Amino acid sequence: MTFLRTYSRAAFSLSKIAKKPLSSHQVILPKQQVFSVTNTTRNLRFYAARPKKLKERIEELIPERLEEIKYIKKEHGPKSMGSTTVDMVYGGMRGIKGLVWEGSVLDPEEGIKFRDLSIEECREKLPKVENGSEPLPEGLFWLLVTGEIPTKEQVSALSAEWAARSAIPSFVEELIDRCPNTLHPMSQFSIAVTALQHESSFAKEYQKGVDKKDYWHYVYEDAMDLISKLPNVVGRIYRNVYKDGKVPAIDAGKDYSYNLAKVLGFESNENFVELLRLYLTIHSDHEGGNVSAHTMKLVGSALSDPYLAFSAALNGLAGPLHGLANQEVVRWIIKMKDTIGESPNDETVREYVQNTLKQGKVIPGYGHAVLRKTDPRYTAQRDFALKHLPDYPLFKIVSQLYNIVPDVLSKQGKISNPWPNVDAHSGTLLQYYGLVEQNYYTVLFGVSRALGVLAQLIWDRALGFPIERPKSYSTKMIRKMFEEKK
């Protein structure tokens, strides 16, 4: 008896294909679909319906999403989502509700959820490599785009497609090679992505006058190409700045994280590859209001192609108050270790933390603009460390800080969230596996963030979202607005 897999409910009329009654052998498909096959038609070939490709699934979802938004605007369009205060305007727009972001929502108490799934649920439910323990970021990208958990076959197909699209033009290679080693890796990253705009399908089709309802097709192609090329881009930057300049070839039979590890020179360490799978998954998206995500959405709303929009997002990510924070955490912890020793007691760590605060400095990696509890991304990395590197001295210090810093900050009474965020842990894991070049850490963050922001950009164009244009006021106008009413 032959068993075939299928992921479609399409019915097959095998008797019509065979042109004669069928009997004898049976082909059993899921959903109890049973078809008979005659002994006399041995040359007849049967194909189970193949898993849907990502682009096909998006095309199916677009009409549903358009109808949903049409309904929401009709039923709730005039309703208020909240008020805006002067404090919000002067406070970095925190708390202002003004963006649609489908891939993730950040809850102050529960943390980030990717399409309603927590990080732990993603780690449990998303496909993994055989004998692997961490989710493949290809699966997370599928989830962010569709809201659905993909099959292993769909994820494998995505891995293969990204590998097939991974080559970068020779002029981009030469551009990266000509950058001085003293130029920050994030600057080189941004330059390379901007140069890749030469390959933009969307930019070329827009110049031809493509119908706006088809914009998303070309944004999708650009997004897939851009994600695919990132390992070669960032691998070349790493090899030029820190190694011998030689970049190994992408392995077409491996997943995205393995190939990223390979271009960096770490593919032989299976645990490091697993770390990258976790890292790329949990850093991918953090709703739409953070600097890199909002920059991507804003620039993309002007119909700048995905390359230009992502380059802008990378420039935002490179800021010390955003993605650059992870390297600052590692530097602070290493400086602490060098000052008070590799195995300090809790009281010594507490004194060091208090002295840092007395100097008017912050404790890097603690606090968050939205979260009011420990960042689940921190917890996921801590779980990984407890499993793979429990005795690593830097991790032990990180654990001590986890137990000490929130108490110290809470007693100060000046911070609404004294708990660790994702940056408090990520650099320590990379240090353990030998990726010690701290200036490079935000580059890895950028590769991961591409998954989230490009997933949203596809939908922005598919749903025809307009250019962003919020209203601004001068300080003089704000005073006039309120004081003339007295």
CB neighbourhood size of 291 (10 A): 17
Alpha helices in 256-324 (DSSP H): 256-264, 270-282, 291-301, 306-317
Annotated catalytic residue 76: no
CA torsion through residues 129, 131, 134, 140, sign: positive
Cβ-Cβ contacts under 8 Å for 20 (sequence gap 6 or more): 38, 40, 41
The tokens of 317 are what?
Answer: 């990510």
User: Distance (Å, rounded) from C-alpha 343 to C-alpha 380?
Assistant: 24
Nearest to 218 by CA among 453, 468, 54, 461: 461
For residue 37, list its beta bridge partners. Answer: 25
- Among this protein's residues, is 25 annotated catalytic? no
What's the order of all strands across the beta sheet hosting 2-3? 2-3, 25-29, 33-37
Q: How far apart are CA 296 and CA 450, in angstroms?
A: 10
DSSP letters of 133-154? -S--HHHHHHHHHHSSPPPHHH
Query: 464 near 212, Cβ under 8 Å?
Result: yes
CB 370 within 8 A of CB 106: yes
- The catalytic residue among 375, 423, 425, 460 is 423
| CA gap 327, 364 in Å, rounded | 10
Active-site option among 217, 286, 294, 322: 322
Element (H, E) at 35: strand 33-37
| Residues 6 or more apart whose Cβ sits within 8 Å of residue 414 | none
Q: If you write DSSP's letter for every residue of 393-454 in order, what string do you get? A: HHHHHHHHHHHHHHHHHHHHT--S--SB-THHHHHHHHHHTT---GGGHHHHHHHHHHHHHH
- Catalytic site residue from 217, 286, 294, 368: 368
Residue 297 main-chain phi, psi, to 5 deg? -65, -40
Cβ atoms of 143 and 163 closer than 8 Å: no
Place of tokens 């769909």: 154
The H or E element that residue 112 is part of is strand 111-114
Task: Establish whether 368 is a catalytic residue.
Answer: yes
The two tokens of residue 446 are 């950028």
Question: Which residues have a catalytic role annotated?
Answer: 322, 368, 423
